[in-house]
Structure 1
Amino acid sequence: MANTLSLYRTVKRLGIPDERIILMLADDMACNARNKYPAQVFNNENHKLNLYGDNVEVDYRGYEVTVEIFLRVLTGRHENAVPRSKRLLSDEGSHILLYMTGHGGDEFLKFQDSEELQSHDLADAVKQMKEKRRFKELLIMVDTCQAATLFSQLQSPGVLAIGSSMKGENSYSHHLDSDVGVSVVDRFTFYTLAFFERLNMYDNASLIRQLMINENFYDLRCISLLCLVVMLNTPKVVMPRVLQADFR
């Protein structure tokens, strides 16, 4: 949960408003009776930043977070009663960031410990999105064990996929908060956030240039040389030309 809320906070800081963000949280640990700090979630053991503040707008929570609903959000195949605020209102000119984290394995990501999003489910949804002109460029980031296997069926153009681990690899937590008794953030997300925290909303430098001049990139590379997997599915998207401002 802290992984997702951390990235949510970061993209908002970089200028993306809530009305252009769909936030899905399967758990409500902020209000869980076992949470020592009610209505608070932290990604660091010093507890300086509460990620679950007053300005968090959760679009789907708890039982609403299912594979079916997730795929409906991507493809736009909603029932009539679903409000606009819960829909991905994108078009053929949109640049979309899709971030997923949780428990994963060989070509799957678990939902609610009861069902799985398979690699072919994701590939089919992305294909539908492309056919329905729901994006121009799609950046997929996945922080799970064997994350890269979730991309194995992707064939649609205009897709850039980044995973925290390859087939047969685990994706590890970064540090433990002994006060609450759990690990609060994963390594890949921790260093990704450290990189993005160095950016500002007015910077149009390419992502690759930002990576190469940022010391946190080398921290990420050192913790696991094989765990940063980048898959580019189109010759039209050149990594040095992908700007952070494209996603606003």
Structure 2
Amino acid sequence: MMKAPCILFLCLVGTTFAFPEHLFGSRQFADPDPVVKHWALLVAGSNGWYNYRHQADICHAYQILHKHGIPDEQIVVMMYDDIANNEENPNKGVIINKPNGPNVYPGVPKDYTAEDVTPENFLALLQGEKPQSCNMCSGKTLKSDSNDHVFVYFADHGATDLIAFPDGELEKDDLMKVLKKMHRQQKFGKLVFYLEACESGSMFDGMSKDLNIFATTAANPDESSWGYYCNNSMDNCLGDEYSIHWMEDSDVEDLSTETLDKQFHIVKQETKKSHPQEYGNLTMSSATVNQYQASQGGEMHIMKDVLVREQTPISELDFVPSREVEMTMLYRRLMKTTHPTDRDAILKKIMVLAQTQRNIIQTMRSIIMSVTSDPEAVEAHLQRPEQLRVVDSVCYHSAVKLFSDTCFRLGQNDYAMGIIYAFANMCNENVPQDRILNAIKNVC
């Protein structure tokens, strides 16, 4: 059931943070296979000011890989690129991933931006194929082969068995088909996938261990992921909880000795609001992190006398459920604004957003009522089960796609993504697919 947005009062806490760029020291990575190349695909699947955190995460991830020696020609970055110079950004040209943190935007490749950030392009680039669209893109793809290691990091909104892009969605079945095809065609030796999204565990739940893929996710298949570093003067979440923990760990750890398993368990322990998961070939987690987040022979940036990672002070106000970020931040901005004109403008945004959210709920209710006249069945379909697994994926994804195309574009409305589980409920209860699709057409 959809929850009403929370009103949170802002208490600013002044803190000073240091980026590990000053933690310089050198050592050489030892890669077990001298012919291995390391490739990376970094994707922020959202746009808009209140999705700031996704592009901030991706920019930070790029800085980690770049400083650890992976050349730009082996890193492909997809992000809408509408945050650094956004009219609401108080520091033009600057993206930070924590309060008072460094600018992580400089140097980030603009390989695929704006309309080129699509699920079709993502799947093509992953396979080393020509992009489906290239308005102002670099044309770079992953040219990995059977010896190479591939690191994929994706940050955005998600729902059961799908993740979002600015103007589209990627279904679990389509991702799995491509990963299996890549394995058959020997497009990688080993692949590691870090996924930041709500219900992100659903994308890899049940994945075969035979694909030589190790995946970790921000959340299990049934829960939200959380915005992080949300208590700041920008009235925005600067990162995502799971993502911040793996990246701040990679900032300071000796990646030539730390294993993927150790990093996962550090992240799992430090992530308080969701439950990070691991999937696929878990034996791969015994490999060192540098085999995916660094280049063979790359320099390690770490100060030898640093024994533990600096802990950043946080409060409960630093956490916000992903789908409540926009409304929560608008309320926080309202609470500290005294100028009447500014208050009126913020109130107007709150009212428009609240009405949109009410419309989403009412639209879904109307669709369900068009399918069944049983009041108990209507309420049952509007409730999310504790452990939701899609039984009829064709029915579910057909309904989700039509809903996104005709009712509320999911890639641009994360709140709508929070209620599409109702389609899984109906499909799982054997409601005919045609009846569901006709109801969507009639209501929207």
- Normalised to the residue count of structure 2, the TM-score between the two structures is 0.49
Higher strand share: 1
1:49-79 deviations in whole A, cap 9, x for unaligned?
00111x2212111111111111110122316
Larger Cα-atom Rg: 2
What SS class does the counterpart of residue 142 from structure 1 fall into? strand
- 1:232 is aligned to 280
| Residues 1:165 and 1:205: Cα distance change in structure 2 (over 3 Å) | closer
How far 1:239 sits from its partner (Å)? 2.2
What SS class does the counterpart of residue 23 from structure 1 fall into? strand
| Residues 1:27 and 1:107: Cα distance change in structure 2 (over 3 Å) | farther
**Paired residue type of 1:179:** S
Number of residue pairs matched by the alignment:
236
* Preserved CA contact (<8 Å) 2:201 2:217: yes
* Preserved CA contact (<8 Å) 1:44 1:177: no
**Paired residue type of 1:207:** L
How far 1:188 sits from its partner (Å)? 0.3
- 1:40 is aligned to 94
Is 1:120 the counterpart of 2:166? The answer is no
Is 1:51 the counterpart of 2:51? The answer is no
Q: In the alignment, which of 50, 53, 66 is matched to residue 12 of structure 1? A: 66
Counting aligned pairs with the same residue, the percent is 23
| Residues 1:211 and 1:108: Cα distance change in structure 2 (over 3 Å) | closer
1:149-186 deviations in whole A, cap 9, x for unaligned?
11136435101010010122111111225322211101
CA distance in 1, matches of 2:168, 2:206: 19
- 2:40 is aligned to none
- 1:137 is aligned to 190
How far 1:39 sits from its partner (Å)? 0.9
Higher helix share: 2
Gaps of 5+ in 1: none
30-39 vs 140-149, greater mean Cα deviation = 30-39
- 2:253 is aligned to 199
CA RMSD of aligned residues (A): 2.5
- 1:95 is aligned to 149
CA distance in 1, matches of 2:131, 2:276: 37
How far 1:103 sits from its partner (Å)? 0.6
- Normalised to the residue count of structure 1, the TM-score between the two structures is 0.86
CA distance in 2, matches of 1:77, 1:211: 31
1:111-154 deviations in whole A, cap 9, x for unaligned?
10x31101011101111211221101110110111111111364
* Preserved CA contact (<8 Å) 2:207 2:279: no
- 1:185 is aligned to 239
| Residues 1:204 and 1:26: Cα distance change in structure 2 (over 3 Å) | same
Gaps of 5+ in 2: 1-54, 296-444
CA distance in 1, matches of 2:289, 2:80: 28
CA distance in 2, matches of 1:170, 1:116: 17
